Structure formats: structure tokens, C-alpha cells
A and B are shown apart, each in its own frame.
Chain A
Amino acid sequence: MTSEFVSVVDIVGSIRAGKTTASDVLEQHLARIDKRETEIHAFNHVMAESARANAASIDADLKSGKERGPLAGVPIALKDNMCTRGVPTTCSSKILEGWKPPYDATVVTRLQQAGAVVVGKTNLDEFAMGSSTENSAFGPTRNPLDTSRVPGGSSGGSAAAVAAGFAAASLGSDTGGSIRQPAALCGVVGVKPTYGMVSRQGLVAFASSLDQIGPFTHTVADAALLMEVIGGHDPLDSTSLDQPVPSLTAVLGRGVKGMRIGRLADMPDGCEPEVLARLDAAFAALKAAGATIVDIALPSLSYCLTAYYLVAPAEASSNLARYDGVRYGLRVESADLISMYGATRAAGFGAEVKRRIMLGTYALSAGYYDAYYGKALKVRRLIANDFAAAYQSCDVILTPTSPTVAFPIGEKTSDPLTMYLCDIFTIPSNLAGHAAMSVPFGTGAHSMPVGVQILAPALGEPTMFRVAAELERAS
């Protein structure tokens, strides 16, 4: 944990114990925003006024003995692709600039009910498409640890907000690594829950069968607490799993003794040696804590990138078709409907979004479906089968979260394919729908943080969090 900041658990404890107030905690965070936000640009929208009112009401309630929930007074930032009633929700796109949703996402409601204080909406790669937060219509977010570098993406604003102490925790969304990769690059904890564990209702869809919301925090315990608040069945999401979130905060101290930790026998090329060194150190730490290291194979791993970059754009091309200038968002007036559509969407979407809409439309279109989308769905099955086989002999798998540490802004913007390669380790769990998280584990090149990724099967969160807690103790 970045030592200068206070964890969610500590904030909650201090407020409950009367040592501080929600308002004081909020002001500390707002002060840091004042100081560094211009430089970092973590937010699209800071909600100082409503946050202050919210914190004051929490303080008043707590003073009068009223229960305000497990996150009472915790300042939290939301990725700007989660609907907040009456508060702009842009997805960092010009096409939604100024749109104020008339409803709240389920996670937003749950956070509010738990007493969290929402401080703002964070920057992202437009519609969550990217790995660096450089694809924002409102300018890039910078890595708080080195502002010449990217924070990762697409939830770069949420990762940076926590890393910079602008919020005690934040929510991001992860379609192919969009929580875990920026968490790794910014040195914070990031969780991609099992598909269906957290409701997608009110999350602006990128790729519906891959998207999951999850937390960014300083500590593993904070992430566990956040998961318990935001997770659980939601009748408004048909793909929501019909079961409660397993208890995570309770299992953190149980250690990893006897656990079998999977290690890729064939590590894909392209990882920085310092990243691999940190991964080795992580294996060593777990072994020292009583776990067994097991070599496993994921033969289809190298094909995941292709499967992902066909499936996700295909779904996105359909999900983003609704931005047509009729009901909300940008419209470029034209003489007829078809021209209005074409002009509006041309003006409203950035280059990467257009590229993926084109790729996805192509992959689904008549004559190409079988060659691309149809095949990609089969490769998706292969990786799921690979995981099923691997989990016969291990409980979790450890990989790097990202092949590299945070790279300089602008380094990968000219070649989309290079950027896509950032996602090689994070994509497979989205394709399979499994749980995964990134835990900071020391630093690599340029003294930038390295994240270790823990992959677990569906609903494997309790085991995954035990491993994460162990790595946190060892780091």
C-alpha cells in the first residue's frame, strides 16, 4: 500500500471511532485533487459540492447514532461510464458530452446505500476502448507516479485517482484488462470479478459478454470490502449470478498453505525482464508461505488476442449503434436521417472507437461472420477448456498483469496492434468469465510499479483474495 494514503478500512474505522469525520476525510482528498488534478487529469467531472453535502449528512447521521453502512464517509471515484442520475456521464466521448442520465447504475445505488461519498467521474479511454487512457476525447490521464507515462487503461482515471489519493477507492470496468492493467501500472490493487458477480445495469456497455465492474483500492482488504458492497444478485441484469457474494474480508488471513499455484510453463514473449523477475519473486513468496508451485499449460493463450479483438468489437459495434443523435447526446443536423446518422457518429466518435466499430461490423457482416466472429467464439471455448484443464492441477494461476511497466505517453498510439498486445495476460479471464485481480508487487524498470495477476476460476474469489493478501504481506 502506498503509505502516505489511508485505506478504506482505516477511514471507516476512524470515522466510526469518532477520530475524524466524513467531511474531514473528504476535504483531505479534495485538497489533493486541488493540488494535482490539473497535472494528472484523473477526472472528467469532480463532484465537490454534492460530495460535501453527502459527507455532512453522513456526519450528522452518525452523530445522531444512525447507521450509514459499511463505507460510511469513504470518498470514492467512479469511472465515467457508470450512470449517475443528473450527473454527466460521458464515457470520455464527445457523443455523450453533456448527457445526464435519468437513472443510477446499480453499483452507484449500492455504494450510496453503503454510505460512500462519490467525489467524481473519472477519465477513461473513450467507451473503455484502450489500454492507456490516451483515447479520451477530453485528453489523456497521466500516471501519478511519473506524469510522463500513461496510467494504463481503459480505467486509467480510476486507477490514477486512487494512486494520487484523490479518492480512497474507485470503481472501474474491465472488458479485457481495463481494471487490472491500470492497477498494475499505477501500483494499486484492481479486481475483475467473476462475470455476473457485479451488476452491469447502468454500466455503459462496451462488450456485454465480457464487461465487469470492479474496485481499485490501496489494499487487498479494501478491495474485499468493496466487493462485498457492490457484488451480489441484481434482478435488473439477466446475466447477474443468482447468489450472494462470498465472504472475502473474512478469509484474508487464512494464508496459502497447501494451495497449488499454477505457473505458465511457456511464458509468451515480450515481457520485460524486471516484470518476470517480480513474478518469480511472487512465486517464491507464496512457496515460502506454504504453497506448491505447479507448471500448467494454456495452449490457446496466444489465440486469445484474436478471439478478444473480434468478439469485443463485434459486440461493441452493436452496443454503440444507439448513439445516433435521436434521443440523447450529440447530433449533427443534416438534411435527411441517414446523413444525420453518418455525420453525428463521425463527429462524435474518436479514431479508436471508429476502428473497433468498423472491425466489429465487418466481423459480423454477411460473408465474414464464419471466418471471424464464428471462429472467435470457438477459440473462446478453447481457452475456457484450457482453464478447466489447468484448474484440475492448481487453485490459481499467477502471471504478470502487464508485460511492461507504464510506458511513456504517445509511445504506442500510432500502432493499434502494439497497444492491443498489452492485454495478452488479462484477456483470457474475460473470455472465460473468470475472476482475476492485480496486486502491486514491487517495481520494475524506471522504478515503476509491477503488478502480479492472480487468475482464479469462476467464483474463485475467496481463494484469489487469500493469495492476494499473502502477496501483499510479502511485498
Chain B
Amino acid sequence: MSNASSAPSHATILPNGWEMVIGLEVHVELDTKTKLFSASPNHFGDEPNTNIDPVTLGLPGALPVINRRAVELAIRLGLALNCTVQASTFHRKNYFYQDLAKAYQITQYDQPINIDGFMMLPGDVRIGIERAHLEEDTGKSTHFGGTSGRIHGSDYSLVDFNRAGVPLVEIVSRPDIRNADQARQYVSELRSILLAVGASDAKMEEGSMRCDVNVSVRKAGEPFGTRCEIKNVNSIRAVGKAIDYEARRQVDVLESGGTIRQETRHWDDSEGRTHTLRVKEDADDYRYFLEPDLVLLDPGTEWVETIRASLPMLPAARRARLSQLTGTDKESEAVYVIVERGQDDYVQLVADAGGEPARALVYVQQAFAEEGATPAVSAAHLAALTQMERDAKVTATQAKTILAEMVANGGGDPAAIAAAKGFEALDTSAVEAMVDAAIAQQADAWAKYCAGEEKAMGALVGAIMKASQGKADGKVVTAILQSRRSK
């Protein structure tokens, strides 16, 4: 995801004043030990039908009892999304499908647990969150025979109920998103928040975070157009591609005089296009009614406030803190990446140890991609390295070499490494002497440089670096040359 929030914008501009209107419905599996309504394990990747019990299988007589931890995680997420947490109820959504054991899904309908939140995206874009409600996941079907394991034209399916009943939160955004970049930023930020609050492992590749994308187009300022829902969007990259494809498809249809049908479409990642999955029919009649086997869920102010107090600092606040510490733009890639890796606390430690925060940010971004939140290199050692570079005891290039060695060895004193490598940075008077020597030897270049030909400086610098065997600091050399010229 590190590329999502801050990758250069290539937002598709639709022709002829068309505008995209995008809403996202993101399902995330909560990181609980057991299912939402029963005590069998919530665990990905086990043998089929081994995490089952009477409730999971919808056996006659089985009754649901809600998992307190799932409720707590849903509230954590809701608070992190600036939602209001309220007393809530469960409904039955009735429909027949092979992987829905009871032929109804227990979900929240008109009284969801979290409502009216928002998320901020770069550029102070505010995306409303309509609701973030609890519901149970379905089982999983594998289709066999026919063409390429697709559902259409298959010969039969085999159903595994391990996933059935896994707790989900469905986060429904308002249709406030206006382009694919924002959509990707939204999903990426949501993922960071999920990880930060410990609500989910948010692995799109394992399906613990799944996006349905609602796309419509309209002429700017006009009412919303008919929307299509795109399913099977399994990566943040695909979110962007599917939206751009679908919006252009809709514009093409409308511009050629057609109309958009309200339908569910399937994103085919390999073909890079969406297909009609099913047309919304009158037959979609889910006969919602209050789930009589469950009771009111009213977490109460005290519990909600206890949970609020236990929330960690959220990614946006951490980015602001890191931005302030390092003097770097809070929407810069470095700031996003470090916070996402959870290495911002480490940068703070480096600063606390007397290090240069801005240099530390660059070092950590460049060298610690494979490290966790607590890199093996001690904060004190990294602080020392930034000081050595600041004090021109080593050049930037040498510092990089030293850092690579520190990372490779899982730590080490940068001064010792510098000494071992013979990185005794030259002091300024020695460099000045070399500069004077170079000016004398390369009189032509010097004349051109003095006449304003900046390129000529290259030859001078090259000669000096050669004479110093690379130990002179390039920046220092440039500074001396500039000061000589301006005299």
C-alpha cells in the first residue's frame, strides 16, 4: 500500500465535463479468535469445514450469541473513523445461496452500531462514512468444471463453511469520492487505520479486506446518475483501475445515447475490464426483519469512552507529528511510508537521541523497508550517523555506505565503521587547498565558470573529488567554489 497514498496522481479526467461519483463498501474481517455468533475458530487457511459448529452450519436449533470482542473491535474502528457509536440491533437478511447456511445473513439494518463518521484524505478532502456495521461472513464456494473455474458454466460447486460466521464490519462511505486516486487513498488510509487499531489484519490478498465499488457518472452539478456496483476488486491497484474503466464505460454508453442499468458488475483483473454479474431485479426482496434470537446491543457511554481512551494515535495524527518533527510535508511519500511501517516512533527516538530528524526520516525510508517498527539499528547509532553527516565528518555518500553496513550487520557504531573504512572526512582547510589547486590547474574551466557557465563547475568538482580520493564532501566543495567566484 505504500505506493497508493502518495503515488503520483494520474486521475483520469473524463471528457466533456463528466464527473465520477464513487462510494465504497468495504468489508473487513475482524481479528477475533472466534466467530461473531459462535465459539468456533476465526482462522484463515484451515482444512475445509473444520472450523464449524451448529451455529456456523445453521443446524436446526442452533442459536447465535454475540462475541464481545467483535463488538469491541467494531467500536474501536467506528471511533477511529469519527463515527457516533449507538445502541444497535440485528436483522435477518433473507436470501438463498449455497454458502449462506441459514438462508439468512445476520446483519445490522436500520440501527447500525457506528454511524456518521468521516475520513480525511490528502488535500483536506473529507469523505463521509455513512455507517460501519457488524455482520457475519458467508462460507466459500469453489466452482468446478466448465470454463476456468468460473461460476458461470461450472458443473458443480463445493462449499466450505470455515469462513461462515466470521465477524465482519462493513464500512459504507458516502458518495463523496470523485476520482480513482481518492478511492485508492481512501482504501489505503482505511487499511492503515484498521491495522493501527488492531481491528483486522486487512489482507486484501486473503480476503480479510474486500472492496465493493459503486460508480456513477454525471455532468458536474447535475443529480447522481444510475450507479453500478463492482465486485471482486481485490487490491488497491485494482480499485483505481476498475473505477477508471467503469467510469469510461458509462460515459461511452451515455454519450452514444444509451442508458446505464443498475447492476452488479464483476472486475476481471486479468482482462482489465468489468462484466455484468447480475442485473438488479425486483426479485431482490430480502425481507429484513429484526433477528428474534438476538437482543439489543447497547454498549453504553462508559464502555465506549473506555475504548476511546485505549485507542492508539491514529495514522493521520502520527503523520502530522512526524511532519512537524522532521519539517517534511505531511502528505509526502516519506511521511506516509514511515507511518505505515510504524517506524515514526523510531524516528522520534532518533531525534530524542540528538539525531537530525530530517536525515533520520530519509535514512529510515531508504534503508529500513525490510525492518519492522523497531529496526535492529539502535536509535542512538542512527542519531550518531546523522550527526556525523551534519558535522561533515562523513559525506552523504559515505553515510549511505555506513548505513548499509549497519543494516546488514543489524547495528554497529557508525564512527567505528567510518574509521574501519577510512572515511576520515577532510576538514574544510584541506578542501580549500584542493580547490585552489584545481582552479590553478583548470584555468579554462574556472574562467568559464566565472563567466556564468555553470556546467564548467563539473570539471572542477571532479578534479577535487579525484584529488581527495572521494573524501571531500561534494556540498562543501560546491559551496567553496561558489564563494570563490562571488568574491
Touch test A–B (CB under 8 Å) = yes
User: Which stretch, A9-17, A296-304, A324-332, touches the partner chain B?
Assistant: A324-332
- Closest partner residue, chain A, to B38 (CB atom): A236
Q: Which residue of B lies closest to A203 (CB)?
A: B61
Given A238-B294, A322-B101, A326-B159, do A366 and B61 touch, yes or no (CB 8 Å)? no
Inter-chain contacts of A364 with B (CB < 8 A): 94, 287-289
Give the residues in chain B near A338, CB-CB below 8 Å.
96
Once the chains are docked, how many angstroms separate the CA of A221 from the CA of B128? 62
With an 8 A cutoff between CB atoms, is A341 at the interface?
Answer: yes
CA–CA, A235 and B39, complex, Å? 12
Interface magnitude class on chain A: 35 or more
Answer yes or no: A191 CB below 8 A from chain B CBs.
no
Contact status A327-B287, CB under 8 Å: no
Closest beta carbon of chain A to B158's beta carbon, Å = 11
Partner of A103, one of B54, B66, B159: B54
Interface: A237 (CB within 8 A): yes
Contact A209 B58 (CB under 8 A): no
Once bound together, how far apart are the Cα atoms of A205 and B62, in whole Å? 9
Q: Is the CB of A204 within 8 A of B61?
A: yes
Pair B58/A327 contact, Cβ less than 8 Å: yes
> A318 and B289 in contact (CB under 8 A), knowing A238-B66, A238-B294, A324-B96?
yes
A462 contacts B by Cβ under 8 Å: no
What is the bound-complex CA distance between A369 and B60, given in angstroms?
26
Instruction: State how many angstroms separate the Cβ of B482 from the closest Cβ of chain A.
Output: 77
* Docked complex Cα distance between A314 and B290 (Å): 11
Q: Is A102 an interface residue (CB 8 A)?
A: yes
Contacting residues, chain B, for A321 (C-beta < 8 A): 94, 96, 102-104
Residue-by-residue, is B272-310 near A (CB-CB < 8 Å gives 1, otherwise 0)? Answer: 000000000000010111001111000000000000000
Name the CB-closest residue of B to A328. Answer: B59
CA distance A101 to B295 in the complex (A): 26
Residues in A whose Cβ lies below 8 Å from that of B285: 365-366
Q: Is A133 located at the chain interface by the 8 A CB criterion?
A: no
The yes or no answer to B220 lying at the interface (CB within 8 A) is no
Q: Chain A 68-102, CB within 8 Å of chain B: the 1/0 string?
A: 00000000000000110000010100001001011
Chain B residues positioned under 8 Å from A235 (CB to CB): 65
Instruction: Give the residues in chain A near B289, CB-CB below 8 Å.
Output: 314-315, 318, 364, 369, 373
What A residues does B292 contact at CB under 8 A?
207-209, 239, 315
Give the complex CA separation of A184 and B58 in angstroms. Answer: 35
Say whether, besides A89-B60, A91-B60, A201-B63, A327 and B101 are in contact (CB < 8 Å): yes
Q: In the complex the two chains form, is A326's CB within 8 Å of B98's CB?
A: yes
What 1/0 flags go to B81-114 for Cβ under 8 Å of A?
0000000000010101010011110000000000
Chain A residues with CB under 8 A of B161: 327
Which A residues are in CB contact (< 8 Å) with B288? 364
**Per-residue interface assignment for chain B, residues 155 to 182, with 1 indicating a CB less than 8 Å from any chain A CB and 0 otherwise:** 0000101000000000000000000000
Pairwise interchain contact B94-A318, C-beta atoms closer than 8 A: yes
Give me the interface of A with B, judged by CB distance under 8 Å.
82-83, 89, 91, 96, 99, 101-103, 105, 200-205, 207-209, 235-239, 314-315, 317-318, 321-322, 324, 326-328, 337-338, 341, 361, 364-366, 369, 373
- Give 7 pairs: A residue, B residue, CB < 8 Å, sorted on A: A83-B59, A89-B60, A321-B104, A322-B103, A327-B59, A365-B285, A365-B287
